[in-house]
Amino acid sequence: MPEMIGYARVSSRTQNLTIQTDALTGAGCTKLFSEKISGTRTDGRRELERMLDYVREGDVLTITKLDRLARSLPDLLKITARLEEKGVQLRCLDQAIDTTTPEGRMTYQILGAVAEFETPIRKARQREGIDAALAKGPDSPFKGRPATIKKEDVEAALEKHGSKAAAAKALGISRDSVYRVLAS
């Protein structure tokens, strides 16, 4: 018997899946797959793989937005090809996408290209903001991550253990970190 299957994804562990899962349940999904992982690649997305293995002919995969399924056009097309092979339709709640029609497929492909384009644009904006903050020099609000180890601790471990590698191991940090701390 065909089912409405829901798939929800957020990029980080601090984000919440509730809005998506509530929308999918409200749309009539009887089975939900959800995960907290980046969508820039399909590798390592266990719930996506479980969902793709689970769906059967006649099922309707339902998502809230296209970028929840994939962030690159090649990945999106690959996922859709797998769905089509199985006779599974795709429905997107927030964007008028229904892959049973030629118009719906075209809309789906256009939105997939936009989702792919959005990631590098967002990264470029973020980099511009960081560069602008760093250009302020010592007055910059962007200080980077605070040091987690003190120079005195590294020097003491080096004296006790005799080598930078042994000091790094004893402190639970990388050898590169030992060099960086000693150079500061």
The set of catalytic residues is: 11
The structure tokens 């511009």 sit at 128
Kindly state the tokens that stand for 70.
Answer: 């994939």
Nearest to 33 by CA among 9, 65, 59, 66: 9
Helix, strand, or coil (residue 116): helix
Nearest to 11 by CA among 68, 66, 57, 52: 68
- CB distance 63 to 93 below 8 Å: yes
Which residues make Cβ contacts (< 8 Å) with residue 31, sequence separation at least 6?
A: 3, 5, 6, 54
Task: Look up residue 181 and give its amino acid.
Answer: V
H/E stretch holding 26 reads helix 18-26
- In the chain, what is the greatest distance between 2 CA atoms, to the nearest angstrom? 72
